[in-house]
Structure 1
Amino acid sequence: MSIPRPPTTPTPPDQGAGPRYPLVKRPARVIHRLLTGALLLAAATTAVAPPAAAAAPAETRVDVDVRAGLATVGDVALGINHAIWDSQLGTPAVSGLLQDAGVQMVRYPGGSYADIYHWRDHTAPGGYVAPNTDFDTFMAGARATGAQPMIIANYGTGTAQEAADWVRYANITKGYDAKYWTIGNENYGNGHYGSAWEADEHADKSPKEYAATVIAYAQAMKAVDPSIKIGAVLTMPGNWPDGIVGPGDESSWNQEVLTRAGSVIDFADVHWYPGGNTPAETLTKSAHIQEGVNLLRQQIDRYGGQPAGRIGISMTETNVEIGRNTQPGALFLADVYSGLLAQGVFTVHWWNVHNGLGDVSTVAGETDYDDYGLLSSGNCNADGSVCQPPLNTPFAPYHALSLMGDFARTGDRFVGTGTDDALVSIHAVRRANGDVAVLLINKDEAGPRTVKLNYHGFTPAAATPSVSTFANGDDGVTTAAAGTAGTQTLAPYSITLLTLHPARTDAAVPATPAKPSATTTDRTATISWPAGPAGLKYEVYRQNGGVSELLGETTGTSLTVRNLEPGRRYTVNVLARDTAGRLSPSSPPLTFTTGTPATSACTVKLRDTNDWGNGFVGSIDITNNAAAPVNGWTLAFTWPTTWQTVSSGWSATWEQTGRTVRVTSDATLAAGATASAGFVGSYSGPNALPQVFTLNGTVCTSV
């Protein structure tokens, strides 16, 4: 990823060289029209039976809960990549299209090119640089778009002084106020882990060297402008080389970089290309987001230094493997941008504005050019037999991004949602004026859905809502009043944005409570928050899909919740209600995980002793803390996700049913003794290790 297509014409792919004759699209519809005409002609002379009634669309329940507050949308949420090999960089046509789509951040100078690019003379030795793509041109385009820049400093072949001089030129000389700077791009791809696509002239290619150089860059760059924010390259959990310990390293890339350089960085920069062999498989990958972001946040908080939460997360590249220019790419973009932003990622960027023609195919009846670009490059293959649509024609993901611009606006708060249909995704935001916007994504290529919407903590007005839709094969987004707040019909392979006004607007609701904190044991959590004005009652809700659970209410500023499950992750919000019954917006979310018993009849230690990116060797030590021996034992645990399995095991009998694993042995475990067993585990997403183990039904202490 993050590199342009090799040219298929004598000029670079983004030049749009060669004839720009778009392929004839949707031949199936032409055939349908011909057949329809033939049938009408036949009907004039032949009596035919009336067609059978069409089956009603499948019905789906969705829930929207405004009491379950998630992350707030920032001012750089919607991003896109630009590249110095793109001759359209900064042009009025492109800037206008990006502005219309609501783009708020533009990344430069373009993926892996960043590690060969020298800004002073605008060169990239070994790569192609298009005319009129220098930094000032880029900044003019960013300003025309109304977007902030995300600039990648050259780690691979550059120096800290070169990066500091770039900051000086950008913010002191030119006054661009460029706030966000990342040190390098995908620098773990420098050969240290076996794969080498990223330029790196450092003799030492380890994460230790990268971390040391990040410190030097950060110090030099912030000496010029202390207000800038510095990002370091990390890996997304579940994506290579996550979990792998390279030769000579003490730990994985993320742990090494955060431990050594966490104190000087302001955000972690990750990329995510989740793959998938079919469009349907690709569209399931959004289910990995919550676990992946949570694991990354745990790593940052554990190794990045205090205070926890100081380091933000940016997702500056993502795309799909199949259907890049057609509806799967559009559905993926809307689902993934929403999912990442809801989990607190502060900016999400599509790769790329333009990229070039790849292997042409038909996806869901539409021509797909296998082009990572959001807009057509207008180029042809080598013999001119296949050409893209005219230059800058928007592909389907562009229209999805445009819907995102209407949906997730600066200051909106994502709220909890749920659905009973795996092929329907739902996201929602609450606006400052009390409106609620709901984004519905139907991932079924052939089947429509009748959606029944249920609201919690919000009552919509009775008026017919405004509905914006982008369906398979559409040339753009259409908007009209349609359906009701409680019922909508979703076309196959479509994105629908529903904007709702509240039935009533209270003049003065209580202020939003501040983010709570928690102290936990294995079974309890005491949740606390700062006091508000007198006379308020506080309600504490646990997020549970689209319908939150009321844990309790109090006029105080803390609540102790009991009977929790050991080792389980919980997310809660606090809301304030005044004496008139008016309810505040939800507090920022608090996520905590209960522990395991401080003392128990058993102790279990699980270690990942060797990881290769989609599998690992696990070692489990089981200690009998009781005074009596255990004659035969069963250890049980549950994988946190559905994409984790035990492939094989030893020193005991291993069995997995669903997500639950049972390890049995007829051996005697003496008092104070430790037994060890091992297994090979596999995973196809973020690999969150189990935290809770039971031995013969007793919850053990985990260490």
Structure 2
Amino acid sequence: MPLATRPPRPRTAAVRARATAAATALACAGALLAAPAPAAAEPVVDIAVNASLGLGTLDDAAFGVNTAIWDSHMNDPEVVELMGEAGIGMMRYPGGSYGDIYRWEDHTAPGGYVAPGTGFDDFIGTVRATGGQAMVIANYGTGTPEEAAEWVRYANVTNDYGVRYWEIGNEIYGNGHYGAQWEADDHPDKSPREYARNVLAYAAAMKAVDPTIRIGAVLTTPGDWPDGIVGPGDDADWNHTVLSRVADTIDFVIVHSYPGGATADEALDRVGRLPGQLREVRRQLDRYAGERSAEIGIALTEVNSNVQQNSRPNALFAAEVYMTALENGVFNVGWWNTHNGPTEISTVDGDTDFNDYGLLSSGGCIGEVCQPAVNTPFHPYYGIKALTTLGGPGDTMVAAASGSEDVSAHAVHQADGDLSVLLINQDPERSVAVNLDYAGFTPTAEAPVVHRYARGDTDVTRVPASSGPLTLPPYSITTVTVRPHSGGAAVGAPGTPRVAAAGSTTATLEWPQAAGGRPVRYEVYERLGANAQLLGTSTSTSLTVRNLPPGSEHTVNVLARDADGRLSRPSGPLTFTTTSPQDSTCLVSYRVDTGWGSGFVASVTVSNLGDAPINGWSLDWTWPNAGQSVQSAWSARVSSDGARVHATDDGNGHLAPNGGSTATFGFVGANDGANPAPTVFTLNGTVCRTG
């Protein structure tokens, strides 16, 4: 897990305004029936849901948990039942850092404890009984490629267990190379170069046994230690070093998230960093894997709040972090852990909290204070279980936006046609009334199905529905499911688009044709919150979109329209960025010289490519992420207005024509979350080429 955490970003009026604008940009019919009716004093929040904007399909491995060989209860029959009821489709073995000391042949972990009944065959029995699949950590720290290959042989050739996903090590960047050490690593060279070299060796040996398996490489989470740090003898940080060498070979990458904070509420607030972090992982894959990037998955194989872990607010965190990660391109989220053990006693929201990473009680005690019976679920278990009322494998996540910072919304268009909306009221004191508006979907007038997990509930419970707006109790998770008014289009969804070519103001998109039926045309929509903007239509499976701003990022879906005018479900999403203008009269080079997870030092070099000299310059850019800022600068005067940065010359204002001279300035920056490079620089009003 990350070694350092930072305080949460404060919620601001600007954040509230953006959320309200996103939610109210869409106005479509669709009154919701639910109970009970709110009191007059309750705030009313508008929720916008757009079924035409797809965020991806829920994978059969979407909802996961970790299991550990030191957990004597990991294979209890009650665990099988509870994991099945919570929709767990993936179980990870043999347990975090134990993955780098575990010897599978004799089921030992030198230097660690191995509980009885936790062998690989026992684990697979539990996985199969839940109807899920396994994620296995191959021992990188103290193992060899040959040992890992023999494990693949035992699992998939000898026993036909069908273990598809194999990680090469766990958190290997914690091997001491960057100063902190918690991960075993016997390699004399502990650099990211050596890890990358061994990933290739492991992949070759393991796939020689079973070519169908998928190999995952460990990355650091952007914005979390040690992201951005360049170790001794290295020329780049962990992610860039590893991906530059293995992107042509691996099938997925692994990141972890423990957002931290002083309370579970603060951890819940910090989930807002995750979309930017995951987007930066995809940018890095795009850079090194090119067109193959779309084939490489992202797995968030460990996540937990790291504080007040058995509390009710951590149940809200669990539901929020799973759906946020899945909506932003992750195929698997794995809670740490199935069982763990008590570490600290406190009271949170009236409940005893043991600060236990486990979803289920291990029955441990601290002094005279003991946990409930073994396998009793803690609150986060029900946060994950609530997601089974939202959707399952094969269902399509769609855009949803809330008009309140205290209410988050996630929506899934199920394969059977129903649409479910999960609403999380993060306010511990106030009930909130909500009105739901739908686009791309017309619900029937019949009462919706409502499920809830709130104070007083001992499980995820179906509650009665009646006329009026839906009321969300304080600290609650509520799912509303409505049926469609009529059948969908006769044509299926098109395949996920890709960028065939991109310029500074244009992008040519291509996509696989829609399944079934014969579409009259295809329509390409850009996602703006929960609002959809039509970019263009085509009677073929390609479209060139024009008049885009240079260096701008866009997320689009493709839909097919049938002869009756009905739109299909959306394709998978594509996010792309236009290039900087190659014929610009200025050139800007932006480089991060060093970083330490929460801060960095960068240098910017400006060149004049025009025919006339420049005497006096100003440079403007906008940060891609809200958590980025300039703290101090030299060789330029730098000011900021929110995300916008304005730099002017400081004694270096003369730029000779045709690249005859340059001006360079530097600054110390801070980042709360990912730290992507700006994509657009404007010099004296001219958009520059970057390089």
- Say yes or no: TM over 0.5: yes
Structure 1 residue 63: Cα displacement: 0.8
Write the letter of the residue equivalent to 2:419.
V
Distance 1:124-1:449 versus aligned 2 partners, 3 A rule: same
Q: Distance in 2 between matches of 1:376 and 1:483?
A: 37
> Larger Rg: 1 or 2?
1
For residue 129 of structure 1, the aligned residue among 87, 90, 114 is: 114
After superposition, residues 181-260 of structure 1 pair within 5 angstroms as 181-260=166-245
For residue 503 of structure 1, the aligned residue among 482, 485, 493 is: 485
Cα deviations by residue, 1:473-505 (Å, 9 ceiling, x for unpaired): 532111123256x83211111111111110112
Q: Distance in 2 between matches of 1:158 and 1:179?
A: 20
> SS of the residue aligned with 1:346?
strand
Structure 1 residue 261: Cα displacement: 2.4
Contact 1:322 1:328 in 2 (8 A): no
Q: Distance in 1 between matches of 2:109 and 2:510?
A: 54
Q: Distance in 2 between matches of 1:111 and 1:95?
A: 21
> SS of the residue aligned with 1:200?
coil
Q: Distance in 2 between matches of 1:670 and 1:106?
A: 59
- Hey, what does 2:686 align to over in structure 1? 698
Contact 1:633 1:666 in 2 (8 A): no
For residue 383 of structure 2, the aligned residue among 394, 397, 400 is: 400
Write the letter of the residue equivalent to 1:259.
S
Structure 1 residue 559: Cα displacement: 3.5
- Hey, what does 1:422 align to over in structure 2? 405
Q: Residue 613 in 1 paired to residue 591 in 2?
A: no
- Hey, what does 2:415 align to over in structure 1? 432
After superposition, residues 481-520 of structure 1 pair within 5 angstroms as 481-483=464-466, 487-506=469-488, 509-518=490-499, 519-520=501-502
Structure 1 residue 115: Cα displacement: 0.9
Q: Distance in 2 between matches of 1:305 and 1:517?
A: 11
For residue 343 of structure 1, the aligned residue among 328, 333, 336 is: 328
Cα deviations by residue, 1:277-326 (Å, 9 ceiling, x for unpaired): 33332112222222211211121232246523222111110000222111
- Hey, what does 2:12 align to over in structure 1? none
Q: Residue 475 in 1 paired to residue 422 in 2?
A: no
Distance 1:171-1:526 versus aligned 2 partners, 3 A rule: closer
> SS of the residue aligned with 1:415?
strand
- Hey, what does 1:540 align to over in structure 2? 524
Structure 1 residue 132: Cα displacement: 1.0
Q: Residue 65 in 1 paired to residue 50 in 2?
A: yes
Contact 2:222 2:597 in 1 (8 A): no
For residue 625 of structure 1, the aligned residue among 609, 612, 625 is: 609
Write the letter of the residue equivalent to 1:489.
T
After superposition, residues 648-687 of structure 1 pair within 5 angstroms as 648-665=632-649, 667=651, 668-672=653-657, 673-687=661-675
Write the letter of the residue equivalent to 2:580.
T
Structure 1 residue 55: Cα displacement: 5.8
Write the letter of the residue equivalent to 1:642.
A
After superposition, residues 440-479 of structure 1 pair within 5 angstroms as 440-472=423-455, 474-479=457-462
Q: Distance in 2 between matches of 1:483 and 1:516?
A: 42
Cα deviations by residue, 1:318-343 (Å, 9 ceiling, x for unpaired): 00022211122111111111111122
Write the letter of the residue equivalent to 1:108.
Y
Q: Distance in 2 between matches of 1:97 and 1:158?
A: 33
Write the letter of the residue equivalent to 1:173.
T
Contact 2:260 2:267 in 1 (8 A): yes
Runs of 4 or more above 4 Å deviation: 530-535
Distance 1:228-1:661 versus aligned 2 partners, 3 A rule: same
Contact 1:106 1:149 in 2 (8 A): yes
Distance 1:590-1:223 versus aligned 2 partners, 3 A rule: same
Distance 1:669-1:535 versus aligned 2 partners, 3 A rule: same
> SS of the residue aligned with 2:295?
coil
Write the letter of the residue equivalent to 1:587.
S
Contact 1:62 1:546 in 2 (8 A): no
Q: Distance in 2 between matches of 1:168 and 1:515?
A: 34
- Hey, what does 1:647 align to over in structure 2? 631
> SS of the residue aligned with 1:548?
strand
> SS of the residue aligned with 1:370?
coil
Structure 2 portions without partners, runs of 5+: 4-37
Distance 1:420-1:100 versus aligned 2 partners, 3 A rule: same
Q: Distance in 1 between matches of 2:99 and 2:2?
A: 10
> SS of the residue aligned with 1:646?
strand
Distance 1:316-1:530 versus aligned 2 partners, 3 A rule: closer
Moved more, 357-366 or 461-470: 357-366
> SS of the residue aligned with 2:195?
helix
Q: Residue 688 in 1 paired to residue 672 in 2?
A: no
Distance 1:624-1:378 versus aligned 2 partners, 3 A rule: same
Contact 2:432 2:472 in 1 (8 A): yes
TM value normalised by structure 1? 0.89
Contact 1:628 1:670 in 2 (8 A): no
How many equivalent pairs are there? 650
Structure 1 portions without partners, runs of 5+: 4-52
Structure 1 residue 577: Cα displacement: 1.3
Distance 1:338-1:535 versus aligned 2 partners, 3 A rule: closer
Write the letter of the residue equivalent to 1:354.
H
Q: Distance in 2 between matches of 1:557 and 1:387?
A: 62
Structure 1 residue 236: Cα displacement: 1.5
Write the letter of the residue equivalent to 2:348.
V
Write the letter of the residue equivalent to 2:582.
A
Q: Distance in 2 between matches of 1:354 and 1:122?
A: 20
Q: Distance in 2 between matches of 1:555 and 1:650?
A: 54
Q: Residue 550 in 1 paired to residue 534 in 2?
A: yes
Q: Distance in 1 between matches of 2:338 and 2:569?
A: 37
Structure 1 residue 88: Cα displacement: 0.4
Structure 1 residue 653: Cα displacement: 1.0
Contact 2:594 2:601 in 1 (8 A): yes
For residue 566 of structure 2, the aligned residue among 582, 587, 593 is: 582
> SS of the residue aligned with 1:264?
coil
Write the letter of the residue equivalent to 1:438.
V
Structure 1 residue 531: Cα displacement: 5.2
Write the letter of the residue equivalent to 1:386.
V
- Hey, what does 1:526 align to over in structure 2? 508
